[in-house]
Amino acid sequence: MSDHDEAGRERPASEAVRRSLARILAREETIHAWAEVDTEGAQAQAREIDSAPSRLPLAGLTLGVKDIIDVGGLRCEFGSPIYRGRLAFSDAALVATLKSLGIVVVGKAVTTEFAFLNPPHTRNPHNLAYSAGGSSSGSAAAVADGHVDAALGTQTAGSILRPASFCGVVGYKPTFGRFSRAGVLSTSPSLDTVGWLSKDMDTTIRVHDALGGEPLGNAQARFGFFHGVHAMTAEPAMRLGIERLAESLKATEVPSPPMLLDNLHATVMRYELRQELATEFLQHRDQLSPLLKLYLEDSPIQRADYLGALEHRDRFDIERMFAGADVLLTPAAPGEAVEYGTTGDPCFNRLATLLGLPAISLPFGRGPKGLPLGVQLIARRNQDDVLLATARRLDLHLRTLTIDPTR
């Protein structure tokens, strides 16, 4: 089968789907990235896109959708036995929008249980003994292993950037609220953010542009970096790599954000997760993982403390943190992927999530185990255009640079 039909017309979507399905067939038994693959639906959608009167902006791209996001007609089980057999009636708003732009949904990507911490059976494609991270585990692994060009994920703590870093792909968490969550499982209304993981910066930006994102522009961003407690306890390869990168970018040092922000994030997330998962906790407690059950059964956060945390967050002086820089440079994760059987620590990702700032993880090197390392960029709220333009430049910069963080 070629990229063209008998009449010589291009059929980029069908060809992309053919490649995607072949790769999944060859690799899924090893990687376990998928909750469901929709072979027939994907092929039908591709035929429709290829026969559209004009070429759609995302034609030729394939998409995985994290299994806490509805795709009409497919099961959506939130990674939990409680929801086994749950069929989504219609597409989530963002899925419908992406489909209308010509991207083909190939299937539902594995998520951790309710996008929380309990590890799923997804493997890291770079080394099967390691974790793909979470909670967007299948999304990261599927993109890293070449099953799809991009995958939707969500982040409440570090659920897009951490797996992206572990799997060596680009993971983009937009500004809080940038894209609709309609049709997406709610776990924490003040934090949950939908974004996507992609094989490269071009794809990340192509999706952003098609969705009506602000044009990127060309202004040079000033980089800032800081020595926080987390950075000092990161794996040496990650720490050294980021320091060298900061140096090569002439990043200026900015004040370390207070550790208190981590506590605020924990307070908000614990309070809200318990509210949002009330049905599961009240009616199906015995079908929760021990880890989630323990978390929900812990002494509840008082409402006054929750409101205090939100207020503190809203008053936090973001300008002081940026200190004149446009984009902050930090590790995207403490180091290389953790071992299979856990999803790793989101300690570097809570900052941007709590404050609603756009953030992206870019692969920039490998650690001593030969696994990818990711650098995180963080920009001001609603400056997704600055973030992505800077990430694109950094991506080019990285190609001219040899950073070997293991030495």
The residue ranges that bind a copy of itself (CB under 8 A) are 72, 82-83, 86, 89-97, 100, 177, 179-183, 186, 189-190, 212, 214, 275-279, 282-283, 303, 307, 382
- Angle (nearest 5°) at CA 160 between 280 and 372: 135
**Pick 8 or 85: Cβ nearer a copy of itself:** 85
Shortest distance, position 315 Cβ to a copy of itself, whole Å: 12
Is residue 189 within 8 Å of residue 154, measured between CB atoms?
A: no
**Pick 283 or 400: Cβ nearer a copy of itself:** 283
**Pick 131 or 190: Cβ nearer a copy of itself:** 190
Shortest distance, position 100 Cβ to a copy of itself, whole Å: 5
Residue 181 to residues 81, 108, 153, 359, 365: CA-CA distances in angstroms?
A: 23, 17, 11, 18, 33
Shortest distance, position 174 Cβ to a copy of itself, whole Å: 12
Shortest distance, position 190 Cβ to a copy of itself, whole Å: 8
23: tokens are: 């790769």
Residue 306's Cβ-side half-sphere holds a number of Cα atoms within 13 Å equal to 15
Question: Does 369 participate in catalysis according to the annotation?
Answer: no
**Pick 186 or 256: Cβ nearer a copy of itself:** 186
Shortest distance, position 281 Cβ to a copy of itself, whole Å: 8
Q: List b or e across 90-127, with b for residues whose CB sees 16 or more CB atoms inside 10 angstroms.
A: ebbbbbbbbbebbbbbbbbbbbbbbbbbbbbebbbbbe
403: tokens are: 């950073």
Phi then psi for residue 115, to 5 deg, are 60, 25
**Pick 310 or 398: Cβ nearer a copy of itself:** 310
Q: List b or e across 357-372, with b for residues whose CB sees 16 or more CB atoms inside 10 angstroms.
A: bbbbbbbbbbbeeebb
Catalytic residue among 14, 20, 66, 136: 66
User: What phi-psi label fits residue 351: left (phi over 0), alpha (psi between -120 and 50 degrees) or beta?
Assistant: alpha
Catalytic residue among 80, 131, 135, 361: 135
Shortest distance, position 182 Cβ to a copy of itself, whole Å: 4
Question: Does 66 participate in catalysis according to the annotation?
Answer: yes
Longest CA span, the chain: 68
- From 33, 125, 403, select the one nearest 238 (Cα to Cα): 403
Sheet containing 34-37, strands listed edge to edge, beginning at the edge strand earlier in sequence: 34-37, 104-109, 62-66, 150-155, 193-198, 170-173, 359-366, 372-379, 327-331, 223-225, 252-253
CA distance linking residue 234 with residue 232, whole number of Å: 6
Q: Which residues contact 238 (CB under 8 A, 6 or more apart)?
A: 331, 333, 334, 335, 336, 367, 373, 405
**Pick 127 or 186: Cβ nearer a copy of itself:** 186
Shortest distance, position 34 Cβ to a copy of itself, whole Å: 21
Catalytic residue among 159, 165, 190, 361: 159
Shortest distance, position 269 Cβ to a copy of itself, whole Å: 14
Question: Does 51 participate in catalysis according to the annotation?
Answer: no
Q: In this structure, what is the dihedral angle of CA atoms 324, 330, 332, 333, given to the nearest 10 degrees? A: -140
In which residue are the tokens 């991009």 written? Answer: 150
**Pick 91 or 395: Cβ nearer a copy of itself:** 91
**Pick 44 or 229: Cβ nearer a copy of itself:** 44
Residue 302's Cβ-side half-sphere holds a number of Cα atoms within 13 Å equal to 3
As annotated, the active-site residues are: 66, 135, 159
